[in-house]
Chain A
């Protein structure tokens, strides 16, 4: 395509997305202008502790997830299992936060598997104790859940960089070179590869930070309850019929936005932290080379397996008295009930497929047409839904869909989901797409195949793994949406996530488990499909 039509198309693409993003942000910020809201916020005695809890859980979980990711990558690199680790990530990544929290709560609850396995032989308990093991007032359960969920996300973000052939080859060579200079493999990783990889994970880290500070659905399930985190307090205010409470909720979202902004500025330090790049020439003692899975990843995978097992067992449990380790009777009633209300499943699927398709199409077109400097300039705008607190974002979204008369309508919901899915798809797709060797385009053009024939016959087939993985990520993000679905859908649309989170506060263990299981299954199926579509071609003739 010639330069001018190309730029015109890129401008049109930008406008299509920038207009709703800017409008949503402006409307969200406008909601902060209500002085009554700020006054109510200042006078609310729960706010200082709620803010403290938000900061504590958000920052602690981000730091732990970041360091955990770095340590796991170092372990995997030394063991030569980075690629294998990347292949195992989809299952961890596919598990929605809420489903994981519900499963973890079932493990840790006073009547959960952990205490059942120790009772009565060790604890002497024959009834569940009144211990605050979930929704603990210190937010430890919330931190643990966030860390366990965000490490796979950061690992996956690292994998999207690592899977770029040019970077992988260069980093491998540099790490090997460092070892020839006397550095052990692990130290070579920390000194040579990690300082180059870490800055490339800045945006994913900011997403983790913003999510940790502002998450609502997860905090409702496993976070502290009295008081809750500030994000939950804000959400409660937004749902209130009283306009002052609404304004207070928006103001609380504003405080969280400020916290995210300040923490984002400080995150540069965190990124520089693990570099420990003192070029002091110090070499580690030579370690015996190890192979196999990193122990940290095995631990994480074990936790996920337990959580999913808890959901599976919980969903088919009939009678299950404490301290029996397994249910005394099994029942499919919960799954029958889920099947009976299949509307939520179809809504989830339709929203997921619709928003992912739109986001993927837009991202491909944008990466294909937009000049690099445009892309660099507008990325912060495109990532706004990741950086702004969800409670504030939905206020802006609601303000956007209201005059368009699409609140409580399918189209409004699709818009809300697409705007949330888009940044994740773009984050996922960009490294591979922008790392694609431009000489292939030049070569194909020299063979008479430019434009669509090149895209259809060369570029997209070669990028199909990344395209499919990005679509799976998009589906997972859409399935996990809670606040936008409830708020923009005006409560008229139920998805498996809204059902699971709503049920989590009740006592229907089996039904909650079934919905949480379904919430897990949908993204897993998406990733499985992506793996199948994206697998390398198998050539029929084997090498001699």
Chain B
């Protein structure tokens, strides 16, 4: 599964944020997007996920194409794109338990299988036995892992991450980053990561600078 984006223009009638951008993310690859604040990185993720209208309250418009394995998703609603999102905040739903947050993401099917998927995800995240807990009682690192597992349980065909590590301290970031990247590579999910952290860039496959006069290239270039 590969993700490709051909952007002609992104912005409002008053201000163009991005134009003439093309990017290709092969299966299991992680492309980091970096650039100054306000350069349109988060808006680009929203446009790819199909949530630009919701997140910009209809202010921004995307002119371009989003393809997953060649399939044009430009007119597919967000809920049917199969593109997962991870934000800076974990956004665990406060009215649901940890397990219910995970169950929310599991596609429809026999209840036993759905619950088994949740238990498996909890185990993978090292959170066995914590499913009935209030998410507010988890540590920052635990919450971040639940958020990732929730995104993965929806079986995304691509994952978009908007500074998902920035709220974690350095030690937790160092643990969580390989955890996330490992899962994505193992499941061959193409991913875009918006970040300001050079450590993220170093461990990603490629880097694309937006709004800075530099060319894109391999992360280790």
Contact = CB atoms under 8 A, between A and B. Distances in A.
B50 A445 contact: yes
B91 A440 contact: yes
Contacts of A449: 79, 104
Nearest to A437: B91
A449 B55 CA distance: 16
Contact of B134 (A461, A462, A539): A539
Interface stretch (A113-121, A215-223, A377-385, A450-458): A450-458
B132 A539 contact: yes
Contacts of A439: 55, 85, 87, 89, 91
B97 to A, nearest CB: 6
Given A442-B46, A446-B49, A446-B51, A451 B93 contact: no
Nearest to B155: A448
B215 interface: no
Contacts, number: 88
B53 A447 contact: no
Contact of A446 (B85, B134, B137): B85
Given A439-B87, A445-B78, A541-B132, A462 B94 contact: yes
A372 interface: yes
B182 interface: no
A369 to B, nearest CB: 12
A438 interface: yes
B133 A457 contact: no
A371 interface: yes
B107 interface: yes
B15 interface: no
Contact of A450 (B78, B82, B105, B154): B78
B151 A446 contact: yes
Range, interface on chain B: 35 or more
Nearest to B150: A447
Contacts of B57: 371-372, 438
Contacts of B79: 445-446, 448-451
Interface in A510-544: 536-537, 539-541, 543
A443 interface: yes
B54 A447 contact: no
A448 B95 contact: no
B154 A442 contact: no
B28 to A, nearest CB: 19
A443 to B, nearest CB: 5
A86 interface: no
Contacts of B80: 448
A63 interface: no
Interface string A415-451: 0000000000000000000000111111111111111
B95 A447 contact: no
Contacts of A541: 132-134
A447 B51 CA distance: 12
Contact of A540 (B93, B132, B156, B160): B132
B104 A446 contact: no
A88 B46 CA distance: 41
A3 interface: yes
A543 B51 contact: no
A445 B54 contact: yes
Interface string B94-105: 110100000011
Interface in B143-200: 150-151, 154, 156, 160
B51 A445 contact: yes
Contact of A457 (B81, B104, B132): B104
B195 to A, nearest CB: 17
Contacts of A444: 104
B91 A443 contact: yes
Contacts of B68: none
Contacts of B13: none
A439 B160 CA distance: 13
Nearest to B59: A372
Contacts of B49: 442, 445-446
Given A445-B79, A537-B95, A3 B87 contact: no
A543 B91 contact: no
B7 interface: no
Interface in B97-122: 97, 104-105, 107
A537 B93 CA distance: 12
B33 interface: no
Given A442-B78, A462-B93, A447 B84 contact: yes
B77 interface: yes
A9 to B, nearest CB: 15
B55 A448 contact: no
Contacts of A461: 95
B58 interface: yes
B83 interface: yes
Interface in B39-74: 46, 49-51, 53-55, 57-58
Given A442-B78, A536-B95, 12 more contacts: A437-B91, A438-B55, A438-B57, A440-B91, A442-B46, A442-B51, A445-B49, A446-B51, A446-B85, A446-B156, A448-B107, A450-B77
Interface of B: 46, 49-51, 53-55, 57-58, 77-85, 87, 89, 91, 93-95, 97, 104-105, 107, 132-134, 137, 150-151, 154, 156, 160
17 contacts: A3-B58, A439-B85, A439-B91, A440-B91, A441-B54, A442-B55, A442-B85, A445-B50, A445-B51, A445-B54, A446-B83, A446-B151, A446-B156, A450-B79, A461-B95, A539-B132, A541-B132
